Amino acid sequence: MAKRNRKAYPPVCEALPIPVIDNHTHLPVGNAPGAFGDERDYSHRPSEEIPPSIDEHLARMETCGIRGAITCGCELPEIPGHIELARAYSQKLWAAIAIHPNEAPLHQCITEKSPDGMEHGLDEHHRQYTLDDALAVVADHARDSSVVAIGETGLDYYRTGDAGKEAQKESFRAHIALAKELDLPLQIHDRDAHADVVDVLKAEGAPQRTVFHCFSGDVQLAHVCAEQGWFASFSGTLTYKGNDDLRAAFLVLPDELILLETDAPYLTPQEFRGQPNAPYVAAYTARAMSDIRHVSLDTWCETLSANTHVVYGL
């Protein structure tokens, strides 16, 4: 068997019968390889390892039946880049912006080691902007017409220890208020914090359109989402061998609350796990979803497309 190239992007696949949208991805911006306007020469790399340009991403999406993507900027310095990108490709790309839960404590100069042992250092933007200032910048940019969601915000008890929890909650509450004020959907990042995320949402009053991005809950959380009318957006993790509980949760949710995303460049589906991810790869996850639910791919793509329209108006 040929050895898998871990740095190579997955191959493009046959187009989905009905085009759908990757509703949460992180396209490269700023100084990242392949970012909008990047003119560096990557021709010395093997062809499958050359970072796709934005135009190449869009061409692959078209081939695979992915008709657009919402690109998420959730660290202060990269937010303008995502908006600029969405503005430049306004028919295919839209932006979601926020201060990521793991960024919130850093804006308060809280650098406690996280439960997984990760050391957190402060960057210039953390020192320059208090959490309040950073949230004000998000609120300012969120009024741009390319911004279709507030996110990702929420709670992450895997990458942030006890000292940072209050900052995360404060930031989460501010984003909930902003989403309601602007009548935008909210994309939630929930890692090892299901109960507290639900508590904060209930206490504050969830926005009309609330999405658990990269849903990682169990059947119990799926039932809560179903009761509340909260959406669950699934990434390639749905296909991971060990994730039977996630698939059980996926099956509990009603059709009309399910969305599709990649969370690229991470979380590439099982078949290509560990390789770089990109919006076009959402087509693989859409196929896996229809298999798991035992519905035809046509019907399933119609469902995903309709749900995306309900949440994002796209």
156 binds Zn ion (CB under 5 A): no
Q: Tokens in use for 289?
A: 């979803």
Q: In sequence order, which residues have a C-beta less than 8 Å from that of residue 227 and are 6 or more positions away?
A: none
- Which residue lies nearer to Zn ion by CB, 262 or 275? 262
Which one-letter DSSP state was computed for residue 13?
-
Give the DSSP letter of residue 158.
Answer: T
Question: At residue 301, what is the residue type?
Answer: C
Residue whose CB is less far from Zn ion, 18 or 215: 215
- Nearest distance in Å: CB 279, Zn ion: 12
Amino acid in the structure at residue 255: D
Rounded to whole angstroms, what are the CA distances from 108 to 127, 129, 273? 8, 9, 35
Name the minimum Å distance from CB 213 to Zn ion: 6
Give me 140's structure tokens: 């300012």
Cα distances (angstroms) measured from residue 21 to each of 8, 193, 236, 290: 23, 27, 15, 16
Of 16-45, which residues contact Zn ion (CB under 5 A)? none
Give the residue with the Cβ less far from Zn ion, 105 or 151: 151
> Residue 17 CB, nearest distance to Zn ion (Å)?
27
Binding of Zn ion by 75 (CB under 5 A): no
The CB-of-269 to Zn ion minimum distance in angstroms stands at 16
- Burial of 171 from C-beta contacts in 10 A (0-12 / 13-18 / 19+): buried
Q: Which is nearer to Zn ion, 103 or 263 (CB)?
A: 263
Q: Does 78 bind Zn ion (CB under 5 A)?
A: no
- Considering only 107, 263, 267, 300, the residue that binds Zn ion (CB under 5 A) is 263
* Smallest separation (angstroms) from Zn ion to the CB of 235: 9
| Choices 173-181, 223-231, 262-270, 286-294; region in contact with Zn ion by CB under 5 A | 262-270
Residue nearest Zn ion (C-beta atom) = 263
Q: Which is nearer to Zn ion, 78 or 263 (CB)?
A: 263
Q: CB–CB of 145/103 below 8 Å?
A: no
Contact call for residues 25 and 72 (beta carbons, < 8 A): yes
Binding footprint of Zn ion on the chain (CB under 5 A): 263
